[in-house]
Amino acid sequence: MGLAEDPSTTAVLEMDMRETDKIFETPQVKQLLREGQPVAALFVSVLHCIPDTDDPWGLIRRVANRLPAGSYMVVSQLASDDPALRAEITGFMHAVTDGNWGRVRSPSEVTRFFEGLELLEAEEQKPMEVSLWHPDSDLGPRQRSKEWIEYGGVALIKTALKRTN
């Protein structure tokens, strides 16, 4: 049985990730959260789908505060240093999703997701382009352009985070 097929180690829910209280009250998630046992929460290439008005940074804080110390948080999203390119990609995605999309953020905005968390394996303890995490590996092709990237990191949750605005 694979990891994804074992309900004692994995939960897949079809829910709005912004509804953290509802998610943490489901039987599947309650079963996974055992007192003192660390878990991992993965926000891989999804936060750019959350508009700023829905506070994606608060979403990460709410989840981190519900996880036991020693848990991990994986966060990545589309990012670009170029404001015009961010606007162009965001505009395109808004058009194809009838406005149901967030936006491409700058790397510094993605870095905010990690406030209060301890980044692992990151240069200078900051998030980075995810294709560079293990650049000596031949597991997959590297992105050739740098106009926009998938930017993120893996962080350890040492203690509950304080609420920030």
- How many CA atoms does the CB half-sphere of 112 hold within 13 Å? 14
57 confidence band (pLDDT: 50, 70, 90) = very high
For residue 38, pLDDT over 70 is answered with yes
Query: Which residue, 136, 161, 148, is CA-closest to 66?
Result: 161
- Residue pair 102/17 in contact (Cβ under 8 Å)? The answer is no
Paired with 119 in beta bridges are 155
pLDDT band at 165 (very low <50, low <70, confident <90, very high): very low
In tens, the pLDDT along 60-99 reads 999 999 998 899 999 999 999 899 999 999 999 999 998 8
Q: What is the mean pLDDT of the chain?
A: 83
Please give the CATH architecture assigned to the domain spanning 33-132+147-157. 3-Layer(aba) Sandwich (3.40)
Token reading at 24: 């943490």
Name which of 5-19, 40-54, 77-91, 93-107 the model is least confident about.
Answer: 5-19
pLDDT of amino acid 136: 58
